[in-house]
Chain A
Amino acid sequence: QSALTQPASVSGSPGQSITISCTGTTTDVGGYNYVSWYQQHPGKAPQVIIYDVSDRPSGISDRFSGSKSGNTASLTISGLQAEDEADYYCTSYTSSGTLAIFGGGTKLTVL
């Protein structure tokens, strides 16, 4: 099964907003509200920042928000800060035998 489709890179200036898309199919993103997003800084383990499409874990800034339309989920980061520069991965439950599928990752550069 192919990975979920994310843009390889996005960039923005401090204070701006950016959106990262994550496109799947009806057997994963489009079929279930189990999309989550992870932030990973270089050399560190990933950290969940959005789960169940749009919920935020405690301690995660409300500058991070998630949404979904059809087979595409989106992560929006508002008020970009230098510390947001990282790799971002989406993942979804899938009805295939593997149960879970990741996106290829998006590198966010804060200009």
Chain B
Amino acid sequence: EVQLVESGGGLVQPGGSLRLSCAASGFTFSSYSMKWVRQAPGKGLEWVSYITSSGSNMYYADSVKGRFTISRDNAKNSLYLQMSSLRAEDTAVYYCARKDSSGWHLDYWGRGTLVTVSS
């Protein structure tokens, strides 16, 4: 069974940093591209970042470019999101999701981890 479990969320002050993790199981992690998607309270979904299966290519939404870094450790079946210079508008539930191997859709999602940026 495919499982994605996010962790690392919490309360952080504006300007602070946080590292999210996503533990993957039930599939060959190194064969799949992965994404982070966030959802601010009461708002819609927003794509944050994308990393290819080997980790050689990364892409970011304009809203987080230069502040967030996506990475992965295929030996540990783990996906990461290093977030720095955090702002109030980064407050959201952060989901990790698996990109389908042949298409562009996200076929499995984790339950999400809440990041709250507030003083």
Contact of A38 among B35, B45, B50 (CB under 8 A): B45
- Cα A52 to Cα B107 with chains together (Å): 12
Nearest B residue to A98 via CB reads B61
A45 to B5 alpha-carbon distance, docked (Å): 12
CA–CA, A38 and B47, complex, Å: 13
* Cross-chain contact A101 with B44 (CB below 8 angstroms): no
A45 CA to B72 CA, complexed, in Å:
22
Q: Interface size class for chain A?
A: 20 to 34
How far does the Cβ of A91 sit from chain B's closest Cβ, in whole Å?
Answer: 8
Q: How far is the CB of A29 from chain B (nearest CB, A)?
A: 12
Query: Which residue of A is nearest B46, CB measured?
Result: A102
In the complex the two chains form, is A34's CB within 8 Å of B50's CB?
Answer: no
For window 1-42 of A, CB contacts with B under 8 Å fall at 1, 3, 32, 34, 36, 38, 40
The answer to whether A102 and B105 have CB atoms under 8 Å apart is no
Residue in B closest to A50 when the chains form the complex, CB atoms: B105
Return the chain B residue nearest A44 by Cβ: B111
Which listed residue (A45, A87, A89, A104) contacts B95, Cβ 8 A?
A45
Within the complex, which residue of A40, A47, A93 is in contact with B104, where a contact is CB–CB below 8 Å? A93
- Interfacial chain B residues near A36, Cβ < 8 Å: 103-106
Binding site for B on A (CB under 8 A): 1, 3, 32, 34, 36, 38, 40, 45-48, 51-52, 57, 87, 89, 91, 93, 97-105
